[in-house]
Structure 1
Amino acid sequence: MYDAPAAVAAANDALWAGLRDRLRAAGLDGVPDRLTRGGSYADPWLHPRLLLAQTCGFPYVHHLRGRVRLVATPVYGFPGGTGAERRSVVVVAAGASFAHVADLRGARAAINDPGSNSGANLLAALVAPLAVDGRFFSSVTLAGGHRESLGAVATGRTDVAAIDSVTFGLLSAHAPEEVAGVRVLCETPGGPGLPLITRGAATDGEVAVLRQALADVVADPALAESRETLGLVGIEVLGDEDYGVLARYAAEAAARGYRELS
């Protein structure tokens, strides 16, 4: 889920090599040489041979829970979260006059995907208490990705977007030109970050091997540079009850009459 720009992809490759070797040494079968890239990021989630993937928390609580197994949740050191909890940053154009969330009433919003927790669900949780007759923004545009949302705000095509704080941190560190035209207005409510998952048929033993290999990788001094590039500082093992807050945000917004981001 976090694989850009190029420096980040290279760091992911280095971490995967460390994981791959540990998983093979532990006796797991079907461990690939390289990470799978290309196609929809959602394609692997329900694949019967899935070994390890990262998903968004909102799809997890809505249609993956009970069909895949939670392995661990990465902990990132970027602003916008504590431990495995992450918040999104609400960005506006650098020169925009918005000072408070309430000032965004009637503004044009961009979202990366309507099923995104960071780009849509947490933004809805932020503005739902301020909605009137189920509306807050004048329009909502589907940008297709967080980087595209940033570009839409920076160039004035839209006024506001919620950006995953890990994405924002990675771009700030490795592609600062992509965030130069925006400023952070505030942060959304928080929730558990993007979990690593494996196939639903994985055994307890396989899940334990995956967790141990991840713990070893985040502690390996030889991989410190790659972890620093990714902002990765640890992992936490969370359960369904931890991710339930994301569904509650959507339910609370709907109870206020704010059933979809609008």
Structure 2
Amino acid sequence: MSKLVAALPMYDWPEMRGEVDAQWARLRDAFRQRGIDAPEAVARSNRDLPSVPDGIRDGAGKLIAPDPATLPPDEFDFHQLWLSPALLFGQTCWGPMDLGLARHVQVIAQPNYDEFEGGQGELYSSALVMLADGGPSLASPADGKAVVPLDLIRGKRFIFNSPESMSGLHGLTRDLEAMAESLDIFASRSESGGHRSSIVAIAEGRADIAAIDCQSWALAQRFEPAARRVKVVGWTARRKGLPFITARTTPADVIASMREAVASTAKQSFVQRVG
């Protein structure tokens, strides 16, 4: 049994579990064909993470996270996953990466967003969604530049999924700054805990606007009834999508083999090689 950990948590909605498991099975088999001891299944809770009795430490020996065994077993702390020394293959967001995670992990590859409106290759954007008013949704611009309707969103209640999120917060922040504006354009700001929860909050009238990454927006249109009560009014600029990562201690030859495996399964698992 492998002592390593894999997870694909960023789009692992309950309705998507079968598809995520199938994606991992393709990658797992491609890894094993190259001699990599890939785990049978993806992790989905803290109990799936191996214990680190003295806590997780960085290269200098500084404690950066507690022992996963001390956390609520039925919850899933993504930071524990990302920082685990046993992480073989995982996925994160460039928000946490820019805020310091990049020092502790290595990037394997970028996903391909071609199949989603608002995506192009390794780049993705976020749909700005508000309560539907009978009018059509705004299509994603072909040039990938930001389309932010300042007059429409000024004074509205903004809701975001996480303070670390590039797609839900930092991307829009940067686009507003490029327009000589800031998050102060909004009457209020609140955290929902997830893109799906943000959509529900808007549909229920508890918030007015959110930035939803294009893949999550596509999933919401498939699985979330509340998505039928909101519409797209703008788009953030395209940026690099959610990277696939591995532990900082993963050997270079293993990373090279994983990149080959990712490239070999690209048509089935919608990922592409980087580096």
Contact 2:260/2:273 (CA < 8 Å) preserved in 1? no
CA gap of 1:70–1:88, structure 2 versus 1, over 3 A, is same
Q: Distance in 1 between matches of 2:104 and 2:187?
A: 37
Contact 2:27/2:262 (CA < 8 Å) preserved in 1? yes
Q: 1:127: how far off? A: 2.6
Aligned to 2:99: 62
Aligned 1:84-99 pairs, distance under 5 A: 84-95=122-133
- Secondary structure of the 1:73 match is strand
The alignment status of 1:33 with 2:71, answered yes or no, reads: no
CA gap of 1:103–1:168, structure 2 versus 1, over 3 A, is same
Aligned to 1:160: 209
Q: 1:235: how far off? A: 1.2
- Secondary structure of the 1:113 match is coil
Q: Distance in 1 between matches of 2:163 and 2:240?
A: 18
The alignment status of 1:205 with 2:243, answered yes or no, reads: no
Aligned to 1:249: none
Contact 1:111/1:146 (CA < 8 Å) preserved in 2? yes
Q: 1:178: how far off? A: 3.4
- Structure with bigger helix share is 1
Q: Distance in 1 between matches of 2:155 and 2:194?
A: 22
> Once superposed, which parts of structure 1, at least 4 consecutive aligned residues long, lie more than 6 Å away?
96-99
For 2:154, the aligned partner's letter is R
Q: 1:135: how far off? A: 1.7
Q: 1:158: how far off? A: 0.7
CA gap of 1:20–1:236, structure 2 versus 1, over 3 A, is closer
Q: Distance in 2 between matches of 1:65 and 1:207?
A: 16
Aligned to 2:12: 3
Q: 2:171 aligns with which of 122, 139, 161?
A: 122
Aligned to 1:78: 116
Contact 2:27/2:265 (CA < 8 Å) preserved in 1? yes
For 2:85, the aligned partner's letter is P
Contact 2:263/2:273 (CA < 8 Å) preserved in 1? no
State the superposition RMSD in angstroms. 2.1
Q: Distance in 1 between matches of 2:176 and 2:203?
A: 21
Contact 1:143/1:149 (CA < 8 Å) preserved in 2? yes
Aligned residues, how many? 223
Q: 2:32 aligns with which of 24, 41, 44?
A: 24
Contact 1:75/1:235 (CA < 8 Å) preserved in 2? yes
Q: C-alpha deviations, 1:16-75, integer Å up to 9, x for none?
A: 11221221221123x211000021223211111110000001111221223211000010
Q: Unpaired segments of 5 or more residues in structure 1?
A: 239-262
Q: Unpaired segments of 5 or more residues in structure 2?
A: 1-9, 46-75, 138-147
Aligned to 1:15: 23
Q: Distance in 2 between matches of 1:23 and 1:54?
A: 16
What percentage of aligned pairs have identical amino acids?
34
Q: C-alpha deviations, 1:114-145, integer Å up to 9, x for none?
A: 1100000012123333537x721110011111
